[in-house]
Amino acid sequence: MEFSEWYSDILEKAGIYDLRYPIKGCGVYLPYGFKIRRYSFEILRKLLDETGHDETLFPMLIPENLLAKEGEHIKGFEDEVFWVTHGGKTPLEVKLALRPTSETTMYYMMKQWIKVHTDLPLKLYQVVNTFRYETKHTRPLIRLREIMSFKEAHTAHATKEDCDAQIKEALNLYGEFFDEICVPYIISKRPEWDKFPGADYTMAFDTIYPDGKTMQIGTVHNLGQNFAKTFELEFETPDGEKDFVYQTCYGISDRAIASLISVHGDEKGLVIPVDVAPIQIVLIPLLFKGKEEIVMEKIKELNSTLKSEFRVHLDDRDIRPGRKYNDWEIKGVPLRIELGPRDIENGQALIVRRDTGEKITVEYSNILEEVEKIVSMYKENLKIKADEKIKNFLTVVDFESDVNALSEKVKAALLENKGIILIPFDESVYNEEFEELIDASVLGQTTYEGKDYISVARTY
Amino acid sequence: MEFSEWYSDILEKAGIYDLRYPIKGCGVYLPYGFKIRRYSFEILRKLLDETGHDETLFPMLIPENLLAKEGEHIKGFEDEVFWVTHGGKTPLEVKLALRPTSETTMYYMMKQWIKVHTDLPLKLYQVVNTFRYETKHTRPLIRLREIMSFKEAHTAHATKEDCDAQIKEALNLYGEFFDEICVPYIISKRPEWDKFPGADYTMAFDTIYPDGKTMQIGTVHNLGQNFAKTFELEFETPDGEKDFVYQTCYGISDRAIASLISVHGDEKGLVIPVDVAPIQIVLIPLLFKGKEEIVMEKIKELNSTLKSEFRVHLDDRDIRPGRKYNDWEIKGVPLRIELGPRDIENGQALIVRRDTGEKITVEYSNILEEVEKIVSMYKENLKIKADEKIKNFLTVVDFESDVNALSEKVKAALLENKGIILIPFDESVYNEEFEELIDASVLGQTTYEGKDYISVARTY
């Protein structure tokens, strides 16, 4: 099955996201999908909170004149902004944009709050819906008109050094987040022509989907003093001078969810990382006539034992076990535990891993410990697999000083290996002309195993 | 100070909400305010999850024809809907409403999901932003154009009995929620002329603000089969017949936050219920020359001890203690613990309660237990106070068969006692004419201490 078909299919079958809403690019997070989102964003929130970011909530509507304040910024967004023009039947005096992102909103407010160096650093974030009038083909959780979950962080600093340090913190923090949700990535500095509108430069996280195309899953922007000058974010330095703040912003969206689904899924369905799995362990009683009570009693006991540490679900539906296995494999539940009369007699239980399909018979008396062990192997394995998956999609080519020869080589490598092609960094081909020549995207400047490359790929 | 002045003032001073945004009725949840919101909605989520509600996320935009599908419903909202008419510079073919509430969105999707009685009950909720083009005076967290936090639950059931039972569950659940955040309430069945557009009937929670005006803080609607018929929510019953589902919906908004702030605050600032306090205990070192190290060491130890159970903040700013006391009183931190050299010598610490101002000297060796005790007294006291506050604002008047005499009596009672006036229930005055006569609002039919009343009040 083609990846894109698999993807649409699994969103529906596993109960992640329903796109049958009568607006293109707008859909519904279903209960199971929402739980994955909830656990994922809880991890992200925790990482942000621990590093001194404060969660806030800013308005969704932006007056036209405010959105247009930063020239480059508005140029980057004006074609894809939704406009509110009426309240009831009354035309509004000032058109209101649905936020495509919140720089202008937040920096307008920061001006009220930042007066003196002791007000800095200011590190804020919010998790909100944002909007893009996408004219391209939309794709659930990937390219939406309503991005349902956009975590955007915005920081302001007194010095360039603090600002640069913040970029590092953000990169580490995002790296940790993607590690925890088992999404592999490479980081690139986006080329000038592809940076965030209004930024000094943009660092980006890309992952690679099973079809070999890359997906941008997180961006970190160094805004320098550009927005600060536009929004007059001036403060008094310790020396009593005036200076503009230095700013960064960084974002992660629903694509994080799309990616953890896409990277690990297989032909049977989802394979969900333990920490974000709505159900971590499913219990299936094997009922035989006359033994139902014994089994149900034992499995309920097991349920309470495991519930102390895991999100457990006891599937006591009156259908045959095979159908249950199938249902939970589709939903990607990490572990399945089967318990039947013979297991009970033997003081055992059967654990089946979703990631490897491995069946492991364990001593019942020791089951919590056994489960913990297997869970940690599962986690480890998903991380290793994630790593392998991205490595298999990285191809280093030798540099050729002849541009045409180089571009042919890159095109051939892209055709054969897909994924990301790494070209030893060279200014002479680091430009949009080369990008056109290879008919693929330049992700940017990428450090890989200590060396500098130009990374190129076909992207989503 | 007048209540409304106090309210605006405290939102700013305590760092709850900033309304200096250039759109009327749109503002910013500041970090401290956002934390109160986060903890409050976590309690609400927990109550919903425990009673089998599933969290979801539905689109924010509603096509005009979908919003207009239910006739009464749209009539109730059409004057206050924001309309998106353009994407970039392109006029949209169908105007899109910013959701004022999500019945139409959700029920359109429910049609895709509900086929047979085993699909029921369906109990969904979401926490989202909603929009009203308010032309009236807006008020932060109370009457907003962007309601930043609307928890809306929507359920569908196979029978009228299940639906009625759901109304009871919702009322209990909301009651428990308001109890936990220490907001007192009375429940009324809203009169026909004030029910939710499209509902069979509406039950509402009202609290009373310090100025004696009531605030609607939660509503529970029995929709019967009205929306189901419009949205063709038909299912196959166990007998193989076709029937329409029975529906309920219920909502709680930012007003919950506004209310917990308003009901308990005093002239010094906020008094926050423990469970939703961003900081539950603040530690203030009393530093004297030469003893700084001893005190700081001890208070850091105290910090780690208490952190295991509470949200603690050690205020080690280099300002005098008096200013610290003041800051944390404004922010309503439940307990303050002061520790100085003499306390350490005596093996003691001083605990100050924000709710009563009481100062309690406790044995340091036993401090975690002492704090637990005081925290539970604080909780208890806030609940008792909440109860007293609403009771003091309830006035029962005797019935008069002469309408004019009755209305004069009610008006006099309103003038003298403010709050809610309870009139023994009588059909003859349960109408809009009487409402006009008394120049106040009929909240509805209220059961109080086992008797039936018509409740009237001046409302926000």
Beta bridge partners of A242: A236
- A245 with A312, same domain: the answer is no
Residue range of the domain that includes B405:
394-457
Interchain CB contact of B30 with A (< 8 Å): yes
Between positions 234 and 273 of B, the ones with CB within 8 A of A are none
Interchain CB contact of A317 with B (< 8 Å): no
State the Cα–Cα distance between residues A181 and A309, nearest whole angstrom.
Answer: 19
Distance from CA of B84 to the nearest CA of A (A): 4
**CB-nearest partner of B57 from A29, A90, A108:** A29
Distance from CA of A65 to the nearest CA of B (A): 10
On the question of pLDDT at A1 being above 80, the answer is no
**CB-nearest partner of A28 from B20, B59, B88:** B59
Contact between chains at A83 and B86 (C-beta distance less than 8 A): yes
On the question of pLDDT at A76 being above 90, the answer is no
**pLDDT tens figures, A17-49:** 999 999 999 999 999 999 999 999 999 999 999
Interchain CB contact of B91 with A (< 8 Å): no
Contact between chains at B59 and A83 (C-beta distance less than 8 A): no
Q: Is the residue at B421 inside a domain?
A: yes
On the question of pLDDT at A400 being above 90, the answer is yes
Q: Is the residue at B204 inside a domain?
A: yes
Choosing from A318, A339, A374, the residue where a domain stops is: A374
Distance from CA of B31 to the nearest CA of A (A): 5
Quote ipTM for the complex. Answer: 0.96
For the segment A260-273, the average pLDDT, to the nearest whole number, is 97
Beta bridge partners of A443: none
- B146 with B173, same domain: the answer is yes
**pLDDT tens figures, A303-318:** 999 999 999 999 999 9
Distance from CA of A17 to the nearest CA of B (A): 9
pLDDT of A72 reads 79
- Which residues of chain B fall below pLDDT 50? none
Q: Is the residue at A384 inside a domain?
A: no
CATH number at residue A181: 3.30.930.10
- A243 with A324, same domain: the answer is no
* A83 neighbourhood in chain B, CB within 8 Å: 84-87
Interchain CB contact of B23 with A (< 8 Å): yes
User: What SS3 state is found at A294?
Assistant: helix
- A116 with A221, same domain: the answer is yes
- B314 with B398, same domain: the answer is no
Contact between chains at A79 and B63 (C-beta distance less than 8 A): no
- A340 with A449, same domain: the answer is no
pLDDT of A277 reads 98
Interchain CB contact of A13 with B (< 8 Å): no
Please, are residues B83 and B96 in contact by the beta-carbon 8 Å criterion?
yes
For the segment A84-99, the average pLDDT, to the nearest whole number, is 96
Residue A71 pLDDT level (bands cut at 50, 70, 90): confident
CATH number at residue B301: 3.40.50.800
Q: If DSSP states are collapsed to H, E and C, what string results for chain B?
A: CCHHHHHHHHHHHCCCEECCCCCCCCCEECHHHHHHHHHHHHHHHHHHHHCCCEECECCCEEEHHHHCCCHHHHHHHHHHCEEEEEECCEEEEEEEEECCCCHHHHHHHHHHHCCEHHHCCEEEEEEEEEECCCCCCCECCCECCEEEEEEEEEEEECCHHHHHHHHHHHHHHHHHHHHHCCCCCEEEECCHHHCCCCCCEEEEEEEECCCCCEEEEEEEEEEECHHHHHCCCEEECCCCCEEECEEEEEEEECHHHHHHHHHHCECCECCCCHHHCCCCEEEEECCCCCCHHHHHHHHHHHHHHHHCCCCEEECCCCCCHHHHHHHHHHCCCCEEEEECHHHHHHCEEEEEECCCCCEEEEEHHHHHHHHHHHHHHHHHHHHHHHHHHHHHCEEECCCCCCHHHHHHHHHHHHHHHCCEEEEECCHHHCCHHHHHHHCCEEEEEEEECCEEEEEEECEC
- B74 with B160, same domain: the answer is yes
**pLDDT tens figures, A410-419:** 999 999 999 9
Residue A66 pLDDT level (bands cut at 50, 70, 90): very high
**pLDDT tens figures, A356-392:** 999 999 999 999 999 999 999 999 999 999 999 999 9
**pLDDT tens figures, A130-182:** 999 988 899 999 999 999 999 999 999 999 999 999 999 999 999 999 999 99
Choosing from A341, A374, A407, the residue where a domain stops is: A374
Contact between chains at B57 and A148 (C-beta distance less than 8 A): yes
pLDDT of B71 reads 81
Give the closest residue to A247 by CA, choosing from A150, A114, A67. A114
**CB-nearest partner of A56 from B30, B86, B96:** B30
Choosing from A219, A238, A264, the residue where a domain stops is: A264
- Interface residue of A28, A36, A41 to substitute, partner B, most B CBs within 10 Å: A28
pLDDT of A171 reads 98
* A23 neighbourhood in chain B, CB within 8 Å: 59, 61, 63, 96
- B283 with B257, same domain: the answer is no
Interchain CB contact of A85 with B (< 8 Å): yes
Interface A-B: count of C-beta contacts within 8 A: 148
Q: Is the residue at B288 inside a domain?
A: yes
Interchain CB contact of A38 with B (< 8 Å): yes
Distance from CA of A188 to the nearest CA of B (A): 30
- A186 with A158, same domain: the answer is yes
CB count, 10 Å around CB of B14?
A: 22
Distance from CA of A8 to the nearest CA of B (A): 17
- Interface residue of B84, B148, B279 to substitute, partner A, most A CBs within 10 Å: B84
Please, are residues B289 and B237 in contact by the beta-carbon 8 Å criterion?
no
pLDDT of A444 reads 98
The total number of structural domains in chain B stands at 3
Sequence-distant (≥ 6) Cβ neighbours of residue A65 within 8 angstroms: A94
B292-307 and B367-392 helices, crossing angle to 10°: 70
pLDDT of B32 reads 98
DSSP string of A203-235?
EEEEEE-TTS-EEEEEEEEEEETHHHHHTT-EE
Q: Is the residue at A341 inside a domain?
A: yes
- B292 with B193, same domain: the answer is no
* B28 neighbourhood in chain A, CB within 8 Å: 56-59, 109
pLDDT of A70 reads 81
Nearest chain B residue (CA) to A111: B20
pLDDT of B135 reads 86
**CB-nearest partner of B59 from A21, A105, A109:** A21
Interchain CB contact of B319 with A (< 8 Å): no
Q: Is the residue at A386 inside a domain?
A: no
pLDDT of B74 reads 83
**CB-nearest partner of B61 from A63, A128, A146:** A146
Give the closest residue to A121 by CA, choosing from A73, A170, A72. A170
**pLDDT tens figures, B56-105:** 999 999 999 999 988 877 888 888 999 999 999 999 999 999 999 999 99
Interchain CB contact of A129 with B (< 8 Å): yes
Please, are residues A17 and A141 in contact by the beta-carbon 8 Å criterion?
yes
Give the closest residue to B12 by CA, choosing from B272, B330, B338. B330
Q: Is the residue at A137 inside a domain?
A: yes
Q: Is the residue at B384 inside a domain?
A: no
CATH number at residue A427: 3.30.110.30
**What is the share, in percent, of chain A residues with pLDDT greater than 90?**
95
Interchain CB contact of B80 with A (< 8 Å): yes
- B236 with B166, same domain: the answer is yes
Interchain CB contact of B83 with A (< 8 Å): yes
- B362 with B414, same domain: the answer is no
Interchain CB contact of A397 with B (< 8 Å): no
Mean per-residue pLDDT of chain A: 96
